[in-house]
Amino acid sequence: MKLSERVEALAESATLAVTAKAAQLKAEGVDVVSYGAGEPDFDTPDNIKQAAIRAINEGQTKYSKPATGIAPVKAAVCEKLARENDLSYEPSQVIVTSGGKMACYLAIQALVNPGDEVIIPVPYWVSYPEMVKLAGGVPVFLNGDENDSFKFSPAMLESAITPRTRMLIFNSPSNPGGFTYHPHEVDAIADVVTKHDIVTLSDEIYDRLRYEGQGFKSFAATNAKAYEQTLTLIGASKTYSMTGWRAGYVAGPQSIVKAMAKLQSQSTSGACTFVQHGLIEALTGDQSAVEQMRSEFEKRALHIHHRLTSISGISCNRPTGAFYVFPNVSRTYDKIGVTNSVDFSKAVLEKAHVAVVPGAAFGMDACVRFSFACSMEQIDKGLDRLADFLA
Ligand code: GLU
């Protein structure tokens, strides 16, 4: 069967592929320790589940009206962004989507024309370049400095901007890097962006998962011009352990949100209605579960960093946000007879039954990604195996 060129050129999501492979091996009886998907191991807080169940029982099972999200969910999003992100938006500037990934897809489809350049800092989340290419855009990669937690500087950004640049994709706290830009660094990057006619898609889905007092600033909160040029993208998956619910949202300039709404009306017809009721409860209800999960992730961040850096040949930045570590493992390649991160990941899966995502999928072949959204016990079990395998 002949498939479209678009799809033929598209890479499968490596994060989902590794996770599926680990799940398949587990189903076959293999005791795999998976550091694959960025998916919290906690249950969704009960108050959120009950809100969605109530909505189903009350008949909230029809189309979302409007497709951009029901009025109370948009109000809840505006309230959250004002309370936690120092951002003032009107409901008409908000769209609720089936997960953060869909939000990202719609934003790129709404803004990028064939040949437009989109600046993507490396390491990047696997789906950004593929979504840009699907829109006919050209990803322009900005290599972060490994000695500075993989961060890019304002000067590096300035030199990557050309007359064809349409968008910067900014992601802090970072997937897969686990680093977070300090507020003053976000200010300096925004100062560069606002000198040009480009939009920043600011993926802030890990905004509340920060460790050891790490500061944070929303990109749109840096200055008035940046606010006009930024789409703020967040979702419930990571903060509230709601990955399977698919609940994301974007706030930004009305003209862009309207364009995304048009696309949404012709594709998904909007986020699931009772999920939106769960999202309202997540954003406006008791927040104590968020801190409980965050502080557990913080303990894991310190622990996994300590354990990884005790293994000879592995170097690694300490995570300040999200739930990933992205160690450089390339100094172990010779020892285990591999030459790249894909073969490294294959070898540790086959021989040590440990699943990690190859750094090549994030634009850095010297590294692999570990998600520590799994229990402390699993973290130790997998790292014992890895240490033995690499000894
Ligand atoms: N964003 C998560 C990750 O990077 C979930 C999987 C995905 O959508 O890529 O693991």
**Under DSSP, is residue 307 helix (H, G, I), strand (E, B) or coil?**
helix
Residue 224: what residue type?
A: A
Whose tokens are 């540790």? That residue is 348
Residue 359 lies in a domain: yes
311 and 239 share one domain? no
- Ligand 1, CB cutoff 6 Å, lining residues: 13, 15-16, 37-38, 101, 125-127, 175
- Write the pLDDT tens digit of every residue in 61-73: 999 999 999 999 9
Residue 57 lies in a domain: no
278 and 294 share one domain? no
Cα(84)–Cα(8) distance, rounded to whole angstroms? 41
Residue 102 lies in a domain: yes
Mark which of 235, 250, 284 sits at the end of a domain. Answer: 284
* Confidence (pLDDT) at 146: 86
Cα(252)–Cα(228) distance, rounded to whole angstroms? 7
Residue 56 lies in a domain: no
Closest residue by Cα to atom 9, ligand 1, is 15
- Write the pLDDT tens digit of every residue in 166-223: 999 999 999 999 999 999 999 999 999 999 999 999 999 999 999 999 999 999 999 9
Element (H, E) at 235: strand 230-235
Token pair of 87, please? 């951002």
Give the distance (Å) from ligand 1 centre to CA of residue 243: 9
pTM reported for the whole predicted model: 0.96
Cα(210)–Cα(187) distance, rounded to whole angstroms? 19
Q: Is the pLDDT of residue 59 over 90?
A: yes
Give the distance (Å) from ligand 1 centre to CA of residue 161: 28
Q: Is the pLDDT of residue 80 over 90?
A: yes
158 and 246 share one domain? yes
250 and 323 share one domain? no
Cα(344)–Cα(352) distance, rounded to whole angstroms? 11
Cα(262)–Cα(377) distance, rounded to whole angstroms? 46
Mark which of 284, 307, 331 sits at the end of a domain. Answer: 284
Mean pLDDT value of segment 294-309 = 97
360 and 277 share one domain? no
Cα(242)–Cα(296) distance, rounded to whole angstroms? 17
Q: Is the pLDDT of residue 239 over 90?
A: yes
* Confidence (pLDDT) at 148: 87
Provide the sign of the torsion angle of the four alpha carbons 159, 160, 161, 164, taken in this order. positive
Residue 54 lies in a domain: no
Closest residue by Cα to atom 1, ligand 1, is 38
Give the distance (Å) from ligand 1 centre to CA of residue 102: 12
Mean pLDDT value of segment 365-373 = 97
Q: Is the pLDDT of residue 227 over 90?
A: yes
227 and 264 share one domain? yes
* Confidence (pLDDT) at 323: 97
Mean pLDDT value of segment 84-106 = 98
Q: Is the pLDDT of residue 38 over 90?
A: yes
Give the distance (Å) from ligand 1 centre to CA of residue 16: 7
In the chain, the number of structural domains is 2
Nearest to 237 by CA among 186, 261, 198, 271: 271
Residue 50 lies in a domain: no
* Confidence (pLDDT) at 94: 98
Residues 6+ apart with CB under 8 A from 279: 73, 76, 96, 236, 242, 245, 247, 249, 271
Residue 226 lies in a domain: yes
Mean pLDDT value of segment 347-354 = 95
Of the chain, the percentage scoring pLDDT greater than 90 comes to: 95
- Write the pLDDT tens digit of every residue in 129-179: 999 999 999 999 999 888 888 999 999 999 999 999 999 999 999 999 999
Give the distance (Å) from ligand 1 centre to CA of residue 59: 32
**Can you point out the beta strands (E) in 272-391?**
324-325, 354-355, 357-358, 368-371
Mean pLDDT value of segment 31-40 = 94
Give the distance (Å) from ligand 1 centre to CA of residue 173: 14
295: domain range? Answer: 5-43+289-390
Choosing from 175, 233, 369, 371 the residue with most ligand 1 atoms within 8 A of its CB, the one to mutate for a pocket test is 175
| Whole-Å CA distances, 250 to 33, 148, 256, 260, 287 | 34, 29, 10, 10, 21
Mean pLDDT value of segment 249-262 = 98
Residues 6+ apart with CB under 8 A from 137: 108, 112, 113, 114, 115, 116, 117, 118, 166, 167
13 and 123 share one domain? no
Q: Is the pLDDT of residue 37 over 90?
A: no
Q: Please report how many Cα atoms fall inside a 13 Å half-sphere around the Cα of residue 146, on the Cβ side.
A: 12
| Whole-Å CA distances, 36 to 40, 167, 242, 349 | 11, 29, 17, 11
* Confidence (pLDDT) at 142: 97
Residue 55 lies in a domain: no
Looking up residue 181, the CATH number of its domain turns out to be: 3.40.640.10
pLDDT tier for residue 18 given thresholds of 50, 70 and 90: confident
